[in-house]
């Protein structure tokens, strides 16, 4: 039996979430445009791609949020941003000699559900000019139920929505007041019902643990209310308190936050409740009904991890649009200009807004594969890595041997060439993954808590 408290005390240093490898702090400014053009030139017309669109606007400032957002109470800045986004798509299409087939599209934010029917229709038009759609294209959108009006769901259906991701966080009024996010259960219930009535068959709910003033009873009540809505998937994220990155998080009182062990107990209890009601635990923080495509991917070893978390998206290429969005190619990451005002200025001046980037080495790709499989499958067979450089595989395997030999808590086992995170230690998968991160420098870069 693992002594969880001892593990948390020993591995007290924060670690990355590993939604990419190398992680974003390793990106270099000023190289994105060149990397982007080269990567586009290497695309295979027969291979579908995925896309991410960032809508960085919210009509309320949620104090817990660590995303790149802008608070606005007027719609004019959003409409202007969407016109700029349409221009970015035009600049992208100018560089293409073909229209890639779009396999998956995700709209994140901010709050994409702020978009009105006119902007959603414009977005569909520019998407169809840039990409080929077919009946298999999956389109997911993050939705704040408080943004939804009678025309919102209709506009999202016209866009082609196939999966809705509903933000909940916590339903208790005191917790909501502490994070500046009032949202009644009834509002959320009605939006979920409206989406189902419109024919949306896949619904995800995001909840958080580790929030200020969030007791065990309050968290359990929130999870029970979420379960009553019968979502196909649930994500149970730990609140990342990073006020050095997001200044508005300073509005959250540190004294109102749970300690590391209390956070762990909250996460474990909430996960147990979901599993006991029929959800399959997936990765470190996702849950899905057994027939859901993500649950099937987890069981068959075909699940992946990207900037949206765990996903069925197997496309090698993801193209990012909008301020701060990150794209992924076979051998590079490329990030758009982060400040929204500069992003709009660049695009409206005819400049494709590719700023930060990173050219992947052979070692980066190997370590990224190892980290992704550990995060998704909790296991990696070093004997199956024949496509990678042999001496680099041997070096990583030696690191695995050293970690297993020196690990005081038996988080992992090594059977021949197969490294496996023990079932009772899966909450600590990020700690194991960090052993293979050649860039990990906690004294230089500040990350969120490991659990």
Q: What are the tens digits of pLDDT across the range 177-207? A: 999 999 999 999 999 999 999 999 999 999 9
pLDDT of residue 450: 62
Percent of the chain at pLDDT > 90 equals 83
What is the per-residue pLDDT across 124-146, written as a single tens digit (0 to 9) for each?
999 999 999 988 899 999 999 99
Give the E-state strand segments of 76-201 in sequence order: 102-109, 138-143, 163-169
Give the pLDDT band of residue 446 (cuts 50, 70, 90): low
Helix 185-197 × helix 150-159 angle, to 10°: 40
**15 vs 367: which has the higher pLDDT:** 367
Residue among 430, 355, 344 at smallest CA distance from 57: 344
pLDDT of residue 11: 85
Pairing of strands 70-71, 57-58: parallel
Percent of the chain at pLDDT > 70 equals 98
Residues 6+ apart with CB under 8 A from 293: 202, 312
Span 212-241, mean pLDDT?
A: 96
Q: Are 105 and 50 in contact (CB under 8 A)?
A: yes
pLDDT of residue 448: 59
Give the pLDDT band of residue 399 (cuts 50, 70, 90): very high
Q: What pTM does this model have?
A: 0.94
Give the pLDDT band of residue 70 (cuts 50, 70, 90): confident
pLDDT of residue 436: 97
Span 402-406, mean pLDDT?
A: 96
Alpha helices in 235-357 (DSSP H): 260-276, 293-300, 340-348
């Amino acid at each position: 039996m693992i002594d969880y408290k001892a593990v948390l005390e020993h591995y007290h240093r924060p670690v990355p979430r590993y939604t990419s490898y190398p992680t974003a702090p390793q990106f270099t400014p000023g190289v994105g445009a060149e990397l982007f053009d080269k990567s586009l030139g290497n695309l295979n017309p027969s291979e579908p791609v995925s896309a991410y669109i960032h809508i960085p606007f919210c009509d309320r400032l949620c104090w817990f949020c660590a995303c790149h957002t802008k608070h606005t109470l007027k719609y004019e800045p959003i409409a202007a941003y969407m016109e700029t986004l349409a221009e970015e798509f035009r600049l992208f299409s100018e560089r293409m000699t073909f229209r890639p087939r779009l396999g998956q599209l995700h709209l994140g934010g901010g709050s994409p559900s702020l978009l009105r029917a006119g902007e959603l229709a414009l977005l569909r038009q520019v998407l169809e000019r840039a990409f080929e759609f077919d009946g298999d294209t999956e389109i997911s959108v993050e939705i704040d139920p408080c943004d939804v009006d009678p025309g919102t769901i209709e506009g999202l259906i016209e866009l082609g929505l196939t999966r809705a991701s509903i933000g909940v966080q916590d339903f208790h009024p005191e917790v909501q007041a502490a994070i500046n996010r009032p949202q009644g259960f009834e509002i959320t219930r009605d939006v979920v019902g409206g989406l189902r009535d419109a024919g949306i068959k896949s619904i995800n709910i995001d909840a958080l643990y580790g929030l200020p003033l969030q007791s065990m009873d309050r968290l359990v009540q929130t999870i029970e209310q979420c379960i009553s809505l019968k979502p196909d998937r649930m994500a149970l994220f730990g609140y990342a308190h990073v006020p050095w990155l997001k200044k508005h998080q300073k509005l959250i009182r540190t004294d109102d936050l749970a300690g590391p062990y209390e956070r762990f107990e909250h996460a474990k209890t909430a996960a147990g409740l979901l599993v006991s009601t029929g959800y399959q635990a997936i990765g470190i923080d996702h849950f899905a009904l057994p027939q859901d495509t993500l649950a099937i991917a987890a069981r068959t070893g075909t699940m992946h991890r990207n900037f949206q978390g765990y996903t069925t998206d197997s496309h090698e290429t993801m193209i990012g649009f909008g301020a701060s969005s990150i794209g992924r190619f076979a051998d590079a990451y490329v990030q758009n200009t982060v400040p929204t005002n500069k992003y709009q200025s660049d695009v409206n001046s005819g400049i494709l807004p590719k700023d930060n980037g990173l050219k992947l080495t052979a070692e980066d790709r190997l370590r990224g594969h190892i980290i992704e499989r550990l995060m998704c499958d909790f296991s990696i067979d070093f004997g199956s890595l024949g496509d990678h450089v042999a001496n680099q595989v041997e070096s990583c395997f030696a690191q695995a041997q050293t970690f297993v030999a020196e690990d005081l808590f038996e988080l992992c086992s090594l059977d021949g060439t197969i490294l496996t995170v023990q079932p009772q230690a899966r909450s600590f998968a990020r700690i194991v993954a960090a052993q293979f991160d050649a860039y990990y420098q906690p004294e230089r870069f500040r990350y969120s808590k490991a659990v």
